[in-house]
Amino acid sequence: MADELNRVFLWGIPRSLTTVFIKCLSYVDGIQIANQLYADAHFYGPDAKLPVGGPQDPMGSKMLELLKTGYKKSPLGTSGSDSSVMSLESIRGILEAPYPDKKVLFCKDQAQFLDGRYDMLPRGFKYSFIIRHPHKAIVSFKKHLLGYWGHFTDLRSLSSILFPPGCGYKELYDLFEYVRENIDPSPVILDTDDLLQDPAGILSTYCSKMGIPYSDKLLSWEAGEDIVDQWIGTMITMVNHAEAFKQVFASEGFGAPSPVPELESLPNDVQACVRDSMQYYEHLHHLKIVANTGNQ
- State the Cα–Cα distance between residues 65 and 149, nearest whole angstrom: 11
DSSP state of 232: B
pLDDT tens-digit profile of 60-116? Answer: 787 787 777 655 444 444 334 455 557 899 899 999 999 999 999 999 999 999 989
| pLDDT (0 to 100) of residue 191 | 97
DSSP state of 222: -
φ, ψ at 58 (rounded to 5°): -60, -35
Query: Taking Cα atoms as reference points, which of 39, 6, 252, 254 lies closest to residue 128?
Result: 6
DSSP for 234-250, please give it: SGGGGGGT-HHHHHHHH
| pLDDT (0 to 100) of residue 260 | 96
**Largest pairwise CA distance in the chain:** 56
| pLDDT (0 to 100) of residue 83 | 52
- State the Cα–Cα distance between residues 108 and 11, nearest whole angstrom: 6
Q: Which domains does the chain have, with CATH numbers?
A: 6-295 (3.40.50)
3-state secondary structure of 116: coil
In the chain, which residues have pLDDT < 70? 1-2, 69-85, 234-244, 293-296
3-state secondary structure of 81: strand
Query: Taking Cα atoms as reference points, which of 30, 9, 7 lies closest to residue 21?
Result: 9
- State the Cα–Cα distance between residues 243 and 273, nearest whole angstrom: 24
| pLDDT (0 to 100) of residue 74 | 44
- State the Cα–Cα distance between residues 121 and 125, nearest whole angstrom: 9
Cβ proximity of 170 and 115 under 8 Å = no
- State the Cα–Cα distance between residues 71 and 252, nearest whole angstrom: 25
The b-or-e profile of 177-191 (16+ CB within 10 A means b, else e) is: ebbeeeeeeebbbbb
Cβ proximity of 15 and 125 under 8 Å = no
What is the layout of strands, in order, in the sheet containing 188-191?
31-35, 104-110, 6-12, 125-131, 188-191
